[in-house]
Amino acid sequence: MSIQDSVLPQGQPRLALRGISKRFGAIVALDGVDFEVYPGEVVALVGDNGAGKSTLAKIIAGVYHADSGTIAFEGQEVAISSPEAANALGIATVYQDLALCDNLDVVANLFLGREQGPRQLPIALRWTQEDEMERRAREVLSSLSIHLSSLRRPVKQLSGGQRQSVAVGRAVLWGSKVVLLDEPTAALGVEQTTMVHRLILQLRELGLSVVLISHNLTDVFKVADRIIVLRLGRRVGTFITGQTTTDQVVAAITTGGTEAAEGIV
């Protein structure tokens, strides 16, 4: 599945970080990094261990605070002070562990912490509107082309790819505009990985911005529109997936050289 038909991003980025720096003691994790993702775009954030990609992801997710630099969400300068603040803006992070409750069913997991019910009652007396929740869950999952035989099975009975779908579905259900995926295929087999690729492309179809953090360049070339390479805390390369080769990206990751596509964006 090639991405040749993808268009170059235009207009205003949905999320733009400028000149982000972050130190941990004497270690400079990020040094003046820019990052941007557009609506309906899949951006892969790649780099070797210690390149700074997970630090950058955690700054976007509100877990870390940048020492300097600015963040703009849909053109407005914002401060992402906490994970809750990130969620409130519409930035959802799907961590590798997926944060699912294995003993609860799909619907309960999708709505966890935001159950529908009569708001005026205290939570011990507030019933959950299960059927309404199930209906909405079904809508969202089918918009992602996820078809599960039953939404009332505990998620521990689902496959790895289906579990990933549920975690991503949660982000979509709550109207997130940017979805960060942290190594989504790390623990998956071939078939499950294909399923996650489709899911990512479907998110793009829905106009969401996807930030894919991955070690796996095969993944990246299958689904990403652009590839941003970090090396030793700096952004050393930006590639349009359809116009680049794996070797170029690998070279950027390992030596920081071959800035073939730098400046296109």
Partner 1 sequence: MRNLLPKVEDSVPHEVVSYSQSLWDKLLNRVRSGEWEPWPVVIGLILTWLLFQSLNGNFLTPRNLSNLVLQTGVVGTLGIGVVLVLLLGEIDLSLGAVCGVCASVLGVLITNLHWPGIPAMLVTLLIGMLIGLLQGAVTVYIGVPSFIVTLGGFLAWQGVQLILLGDAGELIVLDPIVQSFASSYLTVFTSIVLGIFIVAIVLVNLLARRRSRRRAGLEPSSISTAILRLVGVIVGTGVAIILFDAYFGIPYMVVLLLIVVALLTWMTNRSVFGRYVFAIGGNAEAARRAGIHVKTVRLAIFALASTLAALGGILSVSREFAVSTGTGGGTLLLEAIAAAVIGGTSLFGGRGQIYQALLGALVIGSIENGLYLLGQPASTQNIATGIILVIAVSVDALSRRRQQTS
The total of other beta-carbon atoms located within 10 Å of residue 43's CB is: 25
Q: Is 77 in the site for partner 1 (CB under 8 A)?
A: no
Instruction: Name the minimum Å distance from CB 121 to partner 1.
Output: 9
Instruction: Name the minimum Å distance from CB 11 to partner 1.
Output: 19
Determine the Cα–Cα distance for residues 36 and 219; give it in Å rounded to an integer.
Answer: 20
Determine the Cα–Cα distance for residues 143 and 207; give it in Å rounded to an integer.
Answer: 12
Q: Is 132 in the site for partner 1 (CB under 8 A)?
A: yes
For the record, the structure tokens of 88 come out as 């409130």
Residues in contact with partner 1, counted by CB under 8 A, come to a total of 50
Q: Which of positions 152-191 make contact with partner 1 (CB under 8 A)?
A: 153-154, 156-157, 159, 161-162, 165, 191
Instruction: With CA atoms as reference, report the closest residue to 265 among 69, 37, 46.
Output: 37
Q: Which segment (12-20, 23-31, 196-204, 237-245) binds partner 1 by CB under 8 A?
A: 196-204
Binding mask 26-55 for partner 1 (x = CB under 8 A): ------------------------------
Determine the Cα–Cα distance for residues 96 and 90; give it in Å rounded to an integer.
Answer: 19
Q: Is 23 in the site for partner 1 (CB under 8 A)?
A: no
Q: What angle do CA 93, 94, 99 make, to 5 degrees?
A: 120
CB of 228 within 8 A of CB of 237? yes
CB of 220 within 8 A of CB of 209? no
For the record, the structure tokens of 121 come out as 């009652």
Q: Which segment (22-30, 48-56, 103-111, 224-232) binds partner 1 by CB under 8 A?
A: 103-111
Binding residues vs partner 1 (CB under 8 A): 1, 5, 83-84, 97, 99-104, 108, 112-115, 117, 123-128, 130-132, 134-135, 138, 145-150, 153-154, 156-157, 159, 161-162, 165, 191, 194-195, 198, 201-202, 205
